[in-house]
Amino acid sequence: MIDRLAILGATGDLSARFLLPALAALRAAGHTGDALRVTGASREDWDTGRYRAWAAERLGRHGGGLPAGAGEAVVSALHYRRADVTDPADVAAVVAGEGPVAVYLALPPALFPAAVTALHAAGLPDGSRIVLEKPFGEDLAGARELNRLLAELVPERAVFRVDHFLAMTTVQNVLGSRLANRVLEPLWNSTHIAEVDITWDETLALEGRAGYYDRVGALKDMVQNHLLQLLCLVAMEPPLTLGERDLRDRKVDVLRSVRPLTEHDVVHRTRRARYLPGRIGDREVPAYAEEEGVDPARGTETFAEVELELDSWRWAGTRFRLRSGKALGADRKEVAVHFRPVPHLPFGPGGKSPAREGPGGEARPNVLRFELEPEGLTLDLTGIGAHAHELAPLSLTARMEPQDLPAYGRLLLDVLNGDPALSIRGDEAEEAWRVLEPVLSAWERGLVPLDEYPAGSQGPPPHWW
């Protein structure tokens, strides 16, 4: 295990809300000890004492439920250096020391190339590792250039392009449910599955993140990475093992099978929108364009939806809909697998039943829902209700045990231990950009209108089906 961690961008929101609590969780679980040393680097003119005080306050705010001793141990392991993360001399001082170091780029994606270039000039000890937050680059060309820079610095196996979604218990349970249950895998194809909805709707608005979000938007922030990763786990062929090569090879296969979107497809199969003023619960939310730090002229979307098809034997004829939105009326974070309806119902005269829905009197299709927050699993079925020959909906629900480590704790542990199975490989990062490059291009040219929806609503109404 590497016992040195350097965080570039150590005073930002990512460090405060996720990395520091993750380190405390690792300490509380006994995964790290007194040997671990953490150097934080940022532009603030602080010293180690002030940084430790800041970190202790943030751990108190975001590390709820963790033992006080674990937080105190993490704080005592922190050191701080004021640094320009694009300056080789400053970066060299941050990573200096004996033995390999894991360098976490807790930075805006636009700074990745300059920071990696500075690391290359500064030099890293053998066995060191680089950690990058999503999105990996800002477009396909940027991802390719970033991969080139990284390849000159460390081996691919030492590059951790992390996506914390992959470390969430319920996300991993998509694979677990598929591969550990004989009843599901024979049905896991287009013959039985009509469509899959991968949704991350949230009531949260910007919450002070305008400086980052307004330059990224919902498509890059959520769909291009998190939701495409979920698509890979749902649609991949069963891997031989869950080791780094087998798992990541199968994920790349899925992305390569995504049918390229034409301009016509983008116009008719994608949506973008941003929120207007509205009310969510007991709070009034201003329009996105009026939020502090937002430049309305950028036309940044807070809602994005894309429908994809896969050109593969298993999935020909199944629709995959990826959707994410902010400032909506309710949180809905799930993967919903919609099975096709049964071909015939013998209940009632002519096969009709009060439980039938939809055009043509079709039966309610079965839906398997992987609920991501809160974590759970629900299977919607149909059975006989209180009256003979009358169908009624049934739901089988399971709640998951809380995971032993937060998602960022699991990712940091993998980084320190050198296990890249849950990180994104370079070719996978590029394929994910390839999938959405036509959408980015068409949206930039205004081919898809920027719709609007009131904050607290269900989002913009669908307009193509």
For the ranges 89-98, 187-196, 352-361, which has the lowest average pLDDT? 352-361
Q: Residue 207 — very low, low, confident or very high, per pLDDT cuts 50/70/90?
A: confident
Q: 397-444 pLDDT, tens per residue? A: 988 777 788 899 999 999 999 999 889 999 999 999 999 999 999 999
Query: What is the C-alpha separation between 137 and 115, in angstroms, rounded?
Result: 13
Name which of 62-71, 87-96, 98-107 the model is least confident about.
Answer: 62-71
What tokens were used for 369? 């829902």
Cis peptide before 402 (omega within 30 of 0): no
- Considering the chain, what is the average pLDDT of its residues? 91
Count Cα atoms within 13 angstroms, Cβ side, for 393.
Answer: 12
- Cβ-based neighbour number of residue 207 at 10 Å: 10
Neighbouring C-alpha atoms within 13 Å toward the C-beta of 247 = 18
Share of the chain above pLDDT 90, in %: 74
For the segment 312-319, the average pLDDT, to the nearest whole number, is 97
- As annotated, the active-site residues are 226
d(CA 419, CA 243): 9
pLDDT higher than threshold 90 for residue 135: no
pLDDT tier at 210, thresholds 50, 70, 90: confident
- Higher pLDDT pick, 179 / 349: 179
| pLDDT higher than 50, residue 278 | yes
Stated pTM of the model:
0.90
Residue 184: what residue type? Answer: L
pLDDT of residue 463: 63
Q: What is the mean predicted confidence (pLDDT) over 124-132?
A: 94
Cβ–Cβ contacts within 10 Å for residue 144, how many?
Answer: 15
Least confident of 75-89, 125-139, 390-404: 390-404
